[in-house]
Chains A and B, each alone.
Chain A
Amino acid sequence: AQTVTQSQPEMSVQEAETVTLSCTYDTSESDYYLFWYKQPPSRQMILVIRQEAYKQQNATENRFSVNFQKAAKSFSLKISDSQLGDAAMYFCAYFWKGGADGLTFGKGTHLIIQP
């Protein structure tokens, strides 16, 4: 079974600084998607960024970018110019295109933004 591991239960960063959240996953498949979801205190789950395993180029969405290392099975999220509104739980998730199991989530990283 696929597993997703987020080794940092909590991270803290100063406003305007850059922070990187780690995610590793375990799979024997080659065709899959990886996601980062944000869950602010409102509890709403919001998609931050998505990466297809076959694409070598790292995905970027404004201040959010990923470092996808397929061989190392690593998928970290970099947040640049951190803002107070970035404070939230961040979940890494995996989906195998050939599967029927929905998304597999990590346990999450609680990101604190220090003003």
Chain B
Amino acid sequence: SAVISQKPSRDICQRGTSLTIQCQVDSQVTMMFWYRQQPGQSLTLIATANQGSEATYESGFVIDKFPISRPNLTFSTLTVSNMSPEDSSIYLCSVEARGGGPNEQYFGPGTRLTVT
């Protein structure tokens, strides 16, 4: 299994500012994923981050808006840039445990972001 922590757990930010969310895993993992969950909605994949390579973004998400870093096998950050109220969501980090089977995907506790 993998234990994931995220910082901050929640934040209230002003429009036009940026917030960086940190994701720390207690073991080395190959793949890390960032999801967004808008209020009352399901989870949408933002990007996949592998260590040592550029993140792969899903349709509708761009690097300028959601830059991601993956400096090592246990850590990643997601920045939400130039925020607007539409960015108010829960942002979840997820990992696939290294060497794990197809069901070995774990989620962090999420970061609740409110943009005013």
Physical interaction between A and B = no
Residues of B within 8 A of A (CB): none
